[in-house]
Amino acid sequence: MLAGPAFSYFDGEVVAGEGMVNQASMTGESLLVEKRAGTAVFASTIVEEGEIRISVKAVGGETRVNKIVSLIDRSQELKAASQVRAERIADRLVRYNFLLAGLTFLTTRNFAKAASTLLVDYSCAMKLSAPICVLSAMRDSAKCGIMAKGGKYLEELAKADTFIFDKTGTLTESMPKVSAVIPFGNRTENEVLKLAACLEEHFPHSLARAVVREAADRGIDHIEEHAKVDYVLAHGIASSLGEEKLRIGSAHFIFDDEKIKCPKEAEKVISEYSETGSSLLYFSIGDELAGIIVIDDPIREESVKAVARLRALGVKNIVMITGDGENTARIIAKKAGIDKYISQALPDSKVEYIKKMQAEGHKVVMVGDGINDAPALSVADVGIAMGAASQIASQTADILLPDNGLDSLPELRLIGLKLMERIRGNNAMIIGINTSLIALGLAGTISSSTAALLHNGSTVAISMSAMRPLIPNIEN
């Protein structure tokens, strides 16, 4: 038996009772979820209100939360450290330097000409300029407030064609907010909100805090005039003002339990907002519906811009994956400009989807912030955590964004692209210059010492050029 507030240490099924459960750690949902007989509950979730009796299905290492930990451990083993492409090219070219020197000596019997092919090589310039380019990229990232745990992740980010976003706390603010107050019966919005806040301030759940916050933002003082406030298990709040009953809570509580009639104008409102993925609080005074309070988890302002800029920077697939229901997922994806979404996804579902995309040949970037995102962050080619991410998500991720989050994500992609562009450009320059010096040395146009001097001078010049900011107008 668990009574709120209580923490669940096992997976199971509700066999009796009713309660409101915070399961954000597993699904990322920002609002409490009602649990009744026949519904599943998970370890690491919290019964914030009500009382439920659970039939235990899994404990210890068999619970989903422990499977998250094992998923993270296994995926870390799969991430082999990638070598900088320039170093691989340089290593391959060394053998040709020696081969050319041997052939030159055999054909010309001129030791000076053979030596000139060894004095001018490709490897030192490539192996010096490439790490400097990576350090420049990491410096530019730091100036944007981004912390990359290694240059290889910036390279992988540039190659990525698929970005997967969590919803709650990533695309949305993860802070429920009142988006509308619809009064009935000649009442005003502020009158409804004043009494609703007066009742809700007695309870600390997320919807109640949203109502109280909205009243404070509107400057509404709600002096307590009502009688004792009673919490009705997993339904809502009951009190009275004078001789009139006050009720606020779910549709089931107001219409089924309290037998409040739903006016036609309210039916239209309910129908309209049921398509938006919003949560509705119903408030009644006496035997009448006094108002409906609409609560949303608002989308971040920067989400739409970030998604559009990523598309412009060559990202072909942008997907939102969330533990929320189908309707909410569809609405948020549409607002963010994302064509594909996956709803009602648990942590292992996210991992399976990423592995499926990787098996199809895609380079995948995962962006998230919660404990439930950690396995996906770990198994993706690049895991990116938001600035206010949970500790386990931050530790698992390869890159950490600043507090402004998605604003800096397109900049990060651009830095990765510029990094690869500069490394390729430097490599082409190194091969071109040094090949020319070797040819001039073999032709006898320049001496071995001159070739060596020009080779070393070009190496220094290219390395100094590699230090330049990848994005010239980046803030200091």
Q: With contact defined as beta carbons under 8 Å apart, do 412 and 310 qualify?
A: no
At 209 the pLDDT is 87
Catalytic positions are 166
Name which of 217, 220, 196, 153 is nearest 366 in CA terms: 153
Q: Are residues 130 and 38 in the same domain?
A: no
Q: Say which residue, 16 or 180, is predicted with more confidence.
A: 180
CATH of the domain at 20: 2.70.150.10
At 48 the pLDDT is 67
Does 147 have pLDDT greater than 60? Answer: yes
Does 259 have pLDDT greater than 70? Answer: yes
Q: Are residues 311 and 281 in the same domain?
A: no
Question: Is 417 within the bounds of a domain?
Answer: yes
Other Cβ atoms within 10 Å of 291 Cβ, number? 26
Does 476 have pLDDT greater than 70? Answer: no
10-24, 245-259, 309-323, 368-382: least confidently modelled range: 10-24
Q: How confident is the model at residue 234 (pLDDT cuts 50, 70, 90)?
A: low
Does 35 have pLDDT greater than 90? Answer: no
- Assign 318 to helix, strand or coil: strand
Name the residue range of residue 345's domain. 86-174+299-476
| 348/341 Cα distance (integer angstroms) | 16
Does 242 have pLDDT greater than 70? Answer: yes
Q: Are residues 387 and 473 in the same domain?
A: yes
**Tens digit of each residue's pLDDT (9 = 90 or more) over 308-325:** 999 999 999 999 998 888
**Tens digit of each residue's pLDDT (9 = 90 or more) over 124-140:** 777 788 888 888 888 88
Q: Say which residue, 446 or 310, is predicted with more confidence.
A: 310
Q: Are residues 465 and 372 in the same domain?
A: yes
Choose one of 243, 273, 296: the last residue of a domain: 296
Find tokens 């009275």 and name the residue: 240
Query: Most distant CA pair in the chain: distance in Å?
Result: 114
CATH of the domain at 286: 3.40.1110.10
Q: Are residues 346 and 442 in the same domain?
A: yes
